[in-house]
Amino acid sequence: MKKQILEMLSKSTFNISSEQYVYAKVKSLPLNSNHFMVSQDKDEITVVTDINNISSLNIIEKNNNLWRLVSLNLSTPFMAGTLATINSACANKGLNNLVVSTYSKDYLVIKDSQINQIKEVLNELGFKEN
């Protein structure tokens, strides 16, 4: 299975956003939809948004790090073990990331200070940068 995943990753690409993002815990759902991610569970509402959007939020607290989005353009979506392979490679390099999956794309949300390391990890896995 690992061989199939690595073969698929060698046909895949990634893009890194130029924008910086923040994580914030907010008091209420945002009124506008200019945010990358809004997540609500029974305990809290979390927003990941471009740093330029934070003034529109009713923030309880925010993470002090700046983050970037790495979009993964997988040649074969929904292949079992793909995200585990990527996260394992990140963990082996000491990178902490969040994975966000949409229907057609996966994203890694990674600290802005670790962009060079994530490029290295993805290139080692066979990805090509767009």
Tally of CB atoms within 10 A around 58: 13
pLDDT for the residue numbered 74: 92
Is pLDDT of 1 > 70? no
Short-list 117, 96, 109, CA closest to 35: 109
Q: Report pTM.
A: 0.89
Output the CA torsion 39→45→46→52 (10° steps): 110
DSSP classification of residue 55: G
Q: pLDDT digits over 56-83, tens only?
A: 999 999 999 999 999 999 988 888 999 9
pLDDT-derived band of residue 85, with 50, 70 and 90 as boundaries?
Answer: very high
CATH class (in words) of the domain with range 1-19+66-130: alpha beta
Is pLDDT of 112 > 80? yes
Instruction: Give the torsion sign (CA, 20, 18, 99, 115).
Output: negative
Angle CA 129–83–94, to nearest 5: 75
Average pLDDT over residues 91-110: 92
SS3 (DSSP) at 103: coil
Break the chain into its structural domains and give their ranges.
1-19+66-130, 21-65
